[in-house]
Amino acid sequence: MQIVTFGEIMMRLTTPRHQRFRQASNLEVEYGGGESNVAVSLANYGQQVRFVSRLPDNDLGECAIRSLRAAGIDTSYIVRGGKRLGIYFLETGAVQRPSKVIYDREDSSMATLSSGDIDWDRTFDKVSWFHWSGITPAVSASAAAVCLEACRAAAERGITISVDLNHRSKLWQYGKTPAEVMPELVELCDVIVGGSYEAERYFGIEVEDKEDFTPLAKALRQRFPKARHIVTTLRDSISASHNTYTALLWDGDTLHSSPTYELTHIVDRVGGGDSFMGGLIHGLIKWPNDLTYALRFAVAASALKHTIPGDVNLVTEGEVVELMEGDGSGRVRR
Amino acid sequence: MQIVTFGEIMMRLTTPRHQRFRQASNLEVEYGGGESNVAVSLANYGQQVRFVSRLPDNDLGECAIRSLRAAGIDTSYIVRGGKRLGIYFLETGAVQRPSKVIYDREDSSMATLSSGDIDWDRTFDKVSWFHWSGITPAVSASAAAVCLEACRAAAERGITISVDLNHRSKLWQYGKTPAEVMPELVELCDVIVGGSYEAERYFGIEVEDKEDFTPLAKALRQRFPKARHIVTTLRDSISASHNTYTALLWDGDTLHSSPTYELTHIVDRVGGGDSFMGGLIHGLIKWPNDLTYALRFAVAASALKHTIPGDVNLVTEGEVVELMEGDGSGRVRR
Amino acid sequence: MQIVTFGEIMMRLTTPRHQRFRQASNLEVEYGGGESNVAVSLANYGQQVRFVSRLPDNDLGECAIRSLRAAGIDTSYIVRGGKRLGIYFLETGAVQRPSKVIYDREDSSMATLSSGDIDWDRTFDKVSWFHWSGITPAVSASAAAVCLEACRAAAERGITISVDLNHRSKLWQYGKTPAEVMPELVELCDVIVGGSYEAERYFGIEVEDKEDFTPLAKALRQRFPKARHIVTTLRDSISASHNTYTALLWDGDTLHSSPTYELTHIVDRVGGGDSFMGGLIHGLIKWPNDLTYALRFAVAASALKHTIPGDVNLVTEGEVVELMEGDGSGRVRR
Amino acid sequence: MQIVTFGEIMMRLTTPRHQRFRQASNLEVEYGGGESNVAVSLANYGQQVRFVSRLPDNDLGECAIRSLRAAGIDTSYIVRGGKRLGIYFLETGAVQRPSKVIYDREDSSMATLSSGDIDWDRTFDKVSWFHWSGITPAVSASAAAVCLEACRAAAERGITISVDLNHRSKLWQYGKTPAEVMPELVELCDVIVGGSYEAERYFGIEVEDKEDFTPLAKALRQRFPKARHIVTTLRDSISASHNTYTALLWDGDTLHSSPTYELTHIVDRVGGGDSFMGGLIHGLIKWPNDLTYALRFAVAASALKHTIPGDVNLVTEGEVVELMEGDGSGRVRR
Amino acid sequence: MQIVTFGEIMMRLTTPRHQRFRQASNLEVEYGGGESNVAVSLANYGQQVRFVSRLPDNDLGECAIRSLRAAGIDTSYIVRGGKRLGIYFLETGAVQRPSKVIYDREDSSMATLSSGDIDWDRTFDKVSWFHWSGITPAVSASAAAVCLEACRAAAERGITISVDLNHRSKLWQYGKTPAEVMPELVELCDVIVGGSYEAERYFGIEVEDKEDFTPLAKALRQRFPKARHIVTTLRDSISASHNTYTALLWDGDTLHSSPTYELTHIVDRVGGGDSFMGGLIHGLIKWPNDLTYALRFAVAASALKHTIPGDVNLVTEGEVVELMEGDGSGRVRR
Amino acid sequence: MQIVTFGEIMMRLTTPRHQRFRQASNLEVEYGGGESNVAVSLANYGQQVRFVSRLPDNDLGECAIRSLRAAGIDTSYIVRGGKRLGIYFLETGAVQRPSKVIYDREDSSMATLSSGDIDWDRTFDKVSWFHWSGITPAVSASAAAVCLEACRAAAERGITISVDLNHRSKLWQYGKTPAEVMPELVELCDVIVGGSYEAERYFGIEVEDKEDFTPLAKALRQRFPKARHIVTTLRDSISASHNTYTALLWDGDTLHSSPTYELTHIVDRVGGGDSFMGGLIHGLIKWPNDLTYALRFAVAASALKHTIPGDVNLVTEGEVVELMEGDGSGRVRR
């Protein structure tokens, strides 16, 4: 069975060697985006994945497609059109200096996508899982509308829907707030990944004790009764170079938890959440009866992502399992 | 006395070592644009130059300003605002494969400039020369309007105005044709640089014998009586790597011509016209009574530009004169 | 309908900037090989292509596959196994210094391929064209045996077979000569690309006048009556940096010829023949009734290849046609 | 009001990626020096800054000037002359391996500067603050003499003078000791930055308890009664990659202290003191009545410098304040 | 007196900046191997060293020799012949992701070395120390045979023999186990470096308490009575980026120990053991009566290696002593 | 028998990719100099070579030595001392833009060499050929004095002496002219390489017809009767990218000439003369009875140098002979 992820893939332009923007005489080029990063993770674990988006019909759109095809993703459902590929500029921080993102994605082909552009019948043929994130409805009104179209089409076909709530404060510039847009979309989801920050901004759900996930999970379930798994990741940022990372999953009954990874020193933090999401979907599909194992897989996958430059997580299932099973010593394999 | 050039400066992202876009894992970053390139040439020759434009109030706008300041240009007349820095992607061709430009400059801070944004009184204080090009009115209706505002303000103050007609077929997307926009602007100019291609598209002026510049120059003078110098450059493209380059200047009386340079193998052809324009303005200011010398200076300057990577011409007056005076042997200076 | 190409894809390690091997502190990595290069060309022109080979089941084999997938080639027919990925080291020459190849491909997964490893039934399903080259039977006895297996399977199914005779003097180290191996294979082919050098070494065919292709073509047809198109390319090497390139095709009746391209200065000469072959197959499929046009397409495609770094030709059909239709001026597209 | 800093700017040639000198096949080029680094910091915070020095009249001197102009520094007070640009080679250490500096600055244009070369009347016009460091008098007798000339000229005009005592053991090769040269210079200063090491070597001031700064500050004030602020930075080097950093300021009454930053892992430690100095001058000018805040600003600025490659601190006032106000988490800004 | 080390030197191809293999568009090239790395360390400390091996008679073999000559090693005892230079591919890990080595050394010139290829009489002329490691007999049966030949020749001449037991699980592919091969070789050695892992696999020696080295050392001495020094290194891998490192030496009487170094964050871990070995041989030669000092030298040398990219340890005796004598602060030397 | 070359080796810092100095964010590092470049050529042809010079006792001096050792040169006669390694900065030109050298070699260790520093007895032991060039006496009075010391010591021992007259206009800054210094030195030489330019400046020898070498050669022989071979190279600079190159040798009787090579497009012109000199010495030693062959070897060697980046000529005797014997086609060797 196939998995579909839907969202925007952008050109990522990164300053090398912790340079600030004004120091860079060249920029590293890659192609990434929340939902395409999830697709790459899934393909690496051996899943059959389709990535759906809209890309301009020029060489840069072609470059983005090539990067996806290289990863083994089916790109034949991508629509070509619109004026430009979204871009994001990334300055990689260190120690107390945060990484900095400059988005240049307005009026991208994905932002100007319209209802009807994507043939959801064809796209969802033989599909069992659909994934989207809070970034897409944040991009433009029409992207939000197509996202709703997609969720409804998926729900009608009984496809499992997962969402990463993912709030990006620099987006949501088109005149609507997440609170106006997100509830209708999230109602259709089976798996929700998010935290108290999004719960408050998107749904007005506030909990007293932010340290305790169960009340928040219960409140989300009450509001979104279709959601069978409520998941959150917990990142403690000691510095831009040193984080800890763990996650929790509430299945309506039990709160599953994972070990905490000490991530020092992070090679590239971007895509850390997407690699968790990719690991979680794979885990839920492969080990549906061992939710703790699925969650631990997702967290170990994300830990490995922090050691790899770029947006995407280039690890196999075997490599993740090796870390899960306890070997974080990093001894040379030779 | 000061010179003002007005236009858009963009981020230029170039594939290294003749790579095609899909091969590039990093892109070389620079900041350039027709009129800012002219400003850099003039500053290199020791002129006092102000560059006027609109740039976003973010790190990328700051990067563009830093590159201009490094060159010794006065950037204090630049207006900050708008959403984004224009970008252009460049794939460097070779032999029979042409270089390829992908413009991503729509909705840039310069394109969304409005009337009144620039204080022309302050900008033109102590200024004797104003330069613009056909690219600015091609970008957007409002840029065209501000360009007209600028030309009128300059003309009122008796400032010499030069224009490089410079047609870019991928621009002019905002609903007007050059024929609707350009004549009113060019009427105010004292120096016109352009060829039969622009004369036809912009002004409907056609001449029978395209090999002979005098009839075209005369027709332009008749249409634009204020223009005291009508200038054209002649480039013969044998391949992307091998061009010849020369120029002609008609002063109402006499047709001045320059030697022809054999440019093989070109290091970077982009900015070749801008370096000619920079050389011409400098030549006309410094040697007003020797128009042939001024023209020869401009052509030699442009020849040297073709040997330098990037948009801008990094040569001194002395280096140009050395080439003009006959030493094109390229012997090592040591 | 599908096309299959069969052969070895290797890791190519190239010294940058014309360095000699002893100067290189890093090497550029790519993946290429005669027949996979043909596959990439075909995919760029919009053909459906399968590349068939044997690759080791390690990260390096995976890298080779990713490069093919990026190009849009179907890699699902590749067999995994064997010990190592073949490697070739390339030192890029210039002027009077030739480029130098060091092969390190012995005992590669492809060289140790055995009969039965590839399921030709499945591989040739829905296939109309099969391409191989003289490199594969030169690699090892078993590769030669599988090559014969492939040709027979293709011939039985009525699939068109093309061969690039391609002699590599550093190969053929396994105890057989081309004369012992090649005739049986070439007998099954419909399209033969080669020259007097291979005709002599492989088949003992000598012609008196090496300037005149027709007698050679006729001799080849006599020996291999199935061959409907006999094709040769003519490269004049003025230096490592400057070649001329043209080609001839004899269809049994008429000798078709193409224009001659002046290739100066070559960016990367490796893969020039493969890009011709890719263009020729595409041309023969798309314009079967205009053999001159097909040949001209192949030659123009190859001319463009010489301007692109790497083994493969990254050009579209449109770009080739643009050059064929006369514009070799290399003017910037903007 | 304007600030003047005076000293030597050099070409800095750094081995990339922690390479030792013998491994480097290329070196990163930058331009930096104690006092020009201070100037860059001040310009980044919006101050008007002039940098004064002597540079050779060749392309390398021009490169140094361009780097300063890019930063927005007024370079029109720099004198051109002398034979060469000073150079320093830097090998970046890690863990237990220290960074290593090879100075090649003898007979530089700055070292051969003579009295009268700089027109202090013009240089100090409209200036309210003058900064120099202990490096300049260490370079040559004539540089020391001009430094005294500068301090006297500044003191006469009532300009605030700050000094970073900065001992460099590889300098002071011209026959005088710091103890012979420094006291006369420091007497004229209003702000002194230094520690027990310099106090002892320069002024023979020894204190018993090196952990307690107050006695040292008092002793310095007694010796240099003009000094209203005595400041020291405290760096604990756990390894080349991991330091802690804090500072103290004694204002004659009160000892102000800053938080201690944990700097792990340092990207580039060079220029850490200069970035402190730049932050301190800015702090003392902007918040003259909140010396603790000024000191905390300086320390936070320096903490950020350690995360940026190169000699200079490329941060805005806003970025420093953000860190001061408690957010050292390094979370991505997006 | 001369030292001889004997083994294989390979081309090392490393992915830059923590990239995974599939991300690399170029690979860093170096030449290294266990025993040649030891030779480089020794040459850096001023010892006279000969490296003995077999290398192909092509440009790549020449490159390996040049790298050794640059280090000051006598390469005139190296035999040329065989088909290929061994290669190893290295992907540099970080944090929880281990570094990964892909060996491509089968059928290398060293693996196909035969008895009689090396003239041990000439090689051992004026030699006082011979070093080999457990890698050489793991490569092929013939390499193991020549290794035995070497050890016997050395032992006959009374040359001190040292061995680093060094188990590589990806080798030993030729049909014999270490237990069949190693004992006969180790019997001839005077200095043995290894741990419980090798003791068990090679000699079937198991000790109960793996924390206590003395029983293991005693068991090894009992089995190999010629061995006067039994040495082990203890590495605690907290992550791929963070290790601790120390060592123990048992001289038949006393257990000597060194301080433990905190290695965070490791620049390049490969060659850490070889740099210990090089330091130990130098220490035992230079300070034969202070075994603790010799051991501490070896450990400090190895600590420094972890801060240097590449296989070899580029430090002088003076630099190691500086660290041994307590300064691990990494303060800039300027 | 051994060859000695004597002169200065410098650090060469080159801007990459035809960048001008102000564009370079990194510089390529190499070590080269006229006479050490000759030594490298000779070592490549299998000669035993000693290079003699004075180098600072720091890491940069060590780097220069390592580069020579890598090439197989005996560096044990180099004296360590003095303050600094000479540097030269190189900006690589193209087309009409000349390459530009900035020397920064004053007060280098070689320039401050004194009489007695070098033990010529030991240096010339078992030596049959000594080579120096006009650069060394141009550097400083003491270098000139030591050069004379060397020539006399060589002449006394009957060692063949060759000189490349090599005028560098940016040197000779120490108060003497070549005419005062060179004659005494050249009197001792057996082989003189130079042209009319040096003959005039150094010896006041003028000839009427500069096209005809014989009269000049005769005049030089008359003045320097010991010189048995008078040689000149003829370079026609069409542009910085395109030269032709040939040479003439007069043996007292006959004028030997070589073919003319068309060098287009030159990769690196620096070291072209040194590679000729290295080829000539090798040719005269190996083919003493075929002076035409020796000369042709030298010219072909130099032609190949122009295709290799850097100061030194990295070609084998076999590669030069291949070109001499007529194959300049640059066909790929595979």
Q: pLDDT digits over B207-229, tens only?
A: 988 889 999 999 999 999 999 99
Across chain A, the runs of DSSP E, i.e. the strands, are 2-6, 10-14, 26-32, 48-52, 54-55, 79-80, 87-91, 100-104, 127-133, 160-164, 191-193, 229-237, 242-250, 255-257, 261-264
Average pLDDT over residues B61-80: 98
Q: How confident is the model at residue D215 (pLDDT cuts 50, 70, 90)?
A: very high
Q: Can you name the residues that pair with C79 across neighbouring β-strands? A: C54
Q: Dump pLDDT digits (tens) for C126-168.
A: 999 999 999 999 999 999 999 999 999 999 999 999 999 999 9
Q: Which of A14, A15, A26 is most worth mutating to test chain B (most B CB atoms within 10 A of its CB)?
A: A26
Across A134-187, the runs of DSSP E, i.e. the strands, are 160-164
DSSP A16: S
Residue by residue, DSSP assigns F152-197 as HHHHHTT-EEEEE----TT---SS--HHHHHHHHHTT-SEEE--HH
Q: How confident is the model at residue C331 (pLDDT cuts 50, 70, 90)?
A: confident
How high is the pLDDT of residue C218? 97
How high is the pLDDT of residue D331? 83
DSSP A252: S
Distance from CA of E322 to the nearest CA of C (A): 30
Cβ–Cβ < 8 Å for D192, D161 = no
Q: Which residues in C have their CB inside 8 Å of a CB on F?
A: 17-20, 22-23, 93-101, 103, 168-170, 237-242, 265, 269-270
How high is the pLDDT of residue E208? 87
What H or E segment, with its residue span, contains residue F293? helix F291-305
- Contact yes or no for B99 and C309 at CB 8 A: no
How high is the pLDDT of residue B209? 85
Task: Tell whether the model's pLDDT for residue D326 goes beyond 80.
Answer: no
Q: Can you name the residues that pair with F100 across neighbouring β-strands? A: B333, F91
Average pLDDT over residues D39-49: 98
Rounded to the nearest 5°, which phi and psi values hold at E199? -55, -40
Q: Is F288 helix (H, G, I), strand (E, B) or coil?
A: coil
Q: Dump pLDDT digits (tens) for D225-240.
A: 999 999 999 999 999 9
Distance from CA of A107 to the nearest CA of C (A): 21
Across chain E, the runs of DSSP E, i.e. the strands, are 2-6, 10-14, 26-32, 48-52, 54-55, 79-80, 87-91, 100-104, 127-133, 160-164, 191-193, 229-237, 242-250, 255-257, 261-264
Given the DSSP bridges, would you call strands C242-250 and C229-237 parallel, antiparallel or unpaired? antiparallel
Please name the member of F263, F306, F331 whose beta carbon is closest to the beta carbon of C98.
F331
What H or E segment, with its residue span, contains residue C245? strand C242-250
Q: Is B203 helix (H, G, I), strand (E, B) or coil?
A: helix
Chains in touch with F (≥3 Cβ pairs < 8 A): B, C, D, E
Task: Tell me how far apart the alpha carbons of residues E318 and E326 are, in angstroms, rounded to a whole number.
Answer: 13
Q: How confident is the model at residue E329 (pLDDT cuts 50, 70, 90)?
A: confident
**Dihedral sign, CA of C15, C20, C21, C25?**
negative
Closest by CA position to F66, among listed F97, F37, F90, F30: F30
How high is the pLDDT of residue E202? 97
Cβ–Cβ < 8 Å for D8, D108 = yes
Task: Tell whether the model's pLDDT for residue A330 goes beyond 90.
Answer: no
Q: Dump pLDDT digits (tens) for A164-178.
A: 999 998 899 999 999
How high is the pLDDT of residue A208? 87
Tokens of E226: 């010629």
Cβ–Cβ < 8 Å for B54, B81 = yes
How high is the pLDDT of residue F3? 98
How high is the pLDDT of residue F333? 79
- Contact yes or no for B309 and F103 at CB 8 A: no
Q: Dump pLDDT digits (tens) for C289-312.
A: 999 999 999 999 999 999 999 999
Q: Dump pLDDT digits (tens) for E153-197.
A: 999 999 999 999 999 988 999 999 999 999 999 999 999 999 999
How high is the pLDDT of residue C273? 97
How high is the pLDDT of residue F210? 80
Average pLDDT over residues C190-216: 94
How high is the pLDDT of residue F292? 98
Start-end of H helices in A204-271? 213-223
Start-end of H helices in chain D? 34-44, 59-70, 120-123, 136-139, 141-156, 178-186, 196-203, 213-223, 272-286, 291-305, 317-324
- Contact yes or no for F69 and E69 at CB 8 A: yes
**Mean of pLDDT over chain D:** 96
Please name the member of D24, D59, D63 whose beta carbon is closest to the beta carbon of F29.
D24
Residue by residue, DSSP assigns D256-311 as EE-PPEEEET-S--TTHHHHHHHHHHHHHHH-TT-HHHHHHHHHHHHHHHTTSSSS
- Contact yes or no for A265 and E18 at CB 8 A: no
Distance from CA of E240 to the nearest CA of D (A): 15
Cβ–Cβ < 8 Å for C247, C295 = yes
Q: Which of C22, C236, C239 is most worth mutating to test chain F (most F CB atoms within 10 A of its CB)?
A: C239
Please name the member of A96, A98, A239 whose beta carbon is closest to the beta carbon of D333.
A98
Average pLDDT over residues C265-278: 96
Q: How confident is the model at residue B253 (pLDDT cuts 50, 70, 90)?
A: very high
Cβ–Cβ < 8 Å for C161, C128 = no
Average pLDDT over residues E112-139: 97
Task: Tell whether the model's pLDDT for residue C327 goes beyond 80.
Answer: no
Q: How confident is the model at residue C333 (pLDDT cuts 50, 70, 90)?
A: confident
Task: Tell whether the model's pLDDT for residue E81 goes beyond 80.
Answer: yes
Q: Dump pLDDT digits (tens) for D273-297.
A: 999 999 999 999 999 999 999 999 9
Q: Dump pLDDT digits (tens) for A13-31.
A: 999 999 999 999 999 999 9
Task: Tell whether the model's pLDDT for residue E326 goes beyond 90.
Answer: no
Distance from CA of A58 to the nearest CA of C (A): 12
Chain C residues with CB inside 8 Å of E27's CB? Answer: 13, 26-27, 29
Residue B51 Cα distances to B114, B122, B191, angstroms: 17, 13, 19
- Contact yes or no for B60 and A21 at CB 8 A: yes
How high is the pLDDT of residue B329? 80
Residue D158 Cα distances to C35, D280, D288, angstroms: 80, 20, 17
Percent of chain C predicted with pLDDT > 70: 100
How high is the pLDDT of residue A22? 96
Nearest-5° Cα angle at A300, A294 to A306: 140
How high is the pLDDT of residue F332? 82
Q: Is D26 helix (H, G, I), strand (E, B) or coil?
A: strand
Count of C-beta atoms within a 10 Å radius of residue A168? 16
Which positions ≥6 away from A174 have C-beta within 8 Å? A139, A140, A141
How high is the pLDDT of residue B333? 78
Chain A residues with CB inside 8 Å of B100's CB? Answer: 59
Task: Tell me how far apart the alpha carbons of residues E228 and E288 are, in angstroms, rounded to a whole number.
Answer: 12
Average pLDDT over residues C225-251: 97
Closest by CA position to A86, among listed A101, A71, A69: A101
Question: Which residue carries 């400066």 as its tokens?
Answer: B9
Residue E52 Cα distances to B74, E123, E126, F68, F166, angstroms: 65, 8, 15, 21, 42
Distance from CA of B60 to the nearest CA of A (A): 7
- Contact yes or no for B307 and F240 at CB 8 A: yes
Closest by CA position to E80, among listed E35, E131, E132, E118: E118
Q: Count E/F contacts: CB-CB distance under 8 Å.
A: 16
Tokens of A246: 């763990």
Classify burial at D309, counting beta carbons within 10 Å of its beta carbon; exposed 0-12, middle 13-18, buried 19 or more: buried
Domains and CATH numbers, chain C: 2-324 (3.40.1190.20)
Q: Dump pLDDT digits (tens) for D142-199.
A: 999 999 999 999 999 999 999 999 999 889 999 999 999 999 999 999 999 999 999 9
Which positions ≥6 away from A116 have C-beta within 8 Å? none
Q: Which of F69, F314, F316, F333 is most worth mutating to test chain E (most E CB atoms within 10 A of its CB)?
A: F69
Which positions ≥6 away from B249 have C-beta within 8 Å? B229, B230, B231, B255, B256, B257, B291, B292, B294, B295
Residue D102 Cα distances to A329, C38, C293, D88, E321, angstroms: 38, 53, 65, 6, 20
Q: How confident is the model at residue C94 (pLDDT cuts 50, 70, 90)?
A: very high
| pTM beyond 0.95, yes or no | yes
Closest residue in chain B to residue F272, using alpha carbons only: B332
Residue C208 Cα distances to C219, C254, D119, angstroms: 12, 20, 87
Question: Which residue carries 């020291």 as its tokens?
Answer: D232
Task: Tell me how far apart the alpha carbons of residues F131 and F143 are, in angstroms, rounded to a whole number.
Answer: 15
CA torsion angle B234 B237 B241 B247 (round to 10): -10
Count of C-beta atoms within a 10 Å radius of residue B299? 27
Q: How confident is the model at residue B186 (pLDDT cuts 50, 70, 90)?
A: very high
Q: How confident is the model at residue D208 (pLDDT cuts 50, 70, 90)?
A: confident
Given the DSSP bridges, would you call strands F160-164 and C10-14 parallel, antiparallel or unpaired? unpaired
Task: Tell me how far apart the alpha carbons of residues D74 and D48 are, in angstroms, rounded to a whole number.
Answer: 8
Q: Which of the residue ranges A312-316, C215-219, D329-333, F81-85 would you say has the lowest mean pLDDT?
A: D329-333
Average pLDDT over residues C179-183: 97
How high is the pLDDT of residue E334? 74
How high is the pLDDT of residue D169? 86
Q: Is F22 helix (H, G, I), strand (E, B) or coil?
A: helix
Percent of chain E predicted with pLDDT > 90: 94
Neighbouring C-alpha atoms within 13 Å toward the C-beta of D245: 28
**Dihedral sign, CA of A181, A184, A189, A195?**
positive
Closest residue in chain E to residue C21, using alpha carbons only: E59
DSSP E123: H
Residue C256: cis peptide before it, omega within 30 degrees of 0: no
Count of C-beta atoms within a 10 Å radius of residue F166? 21
How high is the pLDDT of residue B17? 95
Which positions ≥6 away from E265 have C-beta within 8 Å? A265, D94, D95, D241, D265, E241, E242
Q: Which of D96, D103, D133, D306 is most worth mutating to test chain E (most E CB atoms within 10 A of its CB)?
A: D96
Q: Dump pLDDT digits (tens) for A129-186.
A: 999 999 999 999 999 999 999 999 999 999 999 999 999 988 999 999 999 999 999 9
Task: Tell whether the model's pLDDT for residue D329 goes beyond 90.
Answer: no
Q: What pLDDT tens digit does each residue of chain F (334 aa) get?
A: 899 999 999 999 999 999 999 999 999 999 999 999 999 999 999 999 999 999 999 999 999 999 999 999 999 999 999 999 999 999 999 999 999 999 999 999 999 999 999 999 999 999 999 999 999 999 999 999 999 999 999 999 999 999 999 999 889 999 999 999 999 999 999 999 999 999 999 999 999 888 899 999 999 999 999 999 999 999 999 999 999 999 999 999 999 999 999 999 999 999 999 999 999 999 999 999 999 999 999 999 999 999 999 999 999 999 999 999 877 788 887 7
Closest by CA position to B329, among listed F243, F19, F307: F243
SS3 content of chain A, % helix, strand, coil (to 5): 35, 25, 40
Rounded to the nearest 5°, which phi and psi values hold at A217? -60, -45
Closest by CA position to D112, among listed D168, D34, D174: D174
**Mean of pLDDT over chain E:** 96
Q: Which ipTM was obtained for this model? A: 0.95
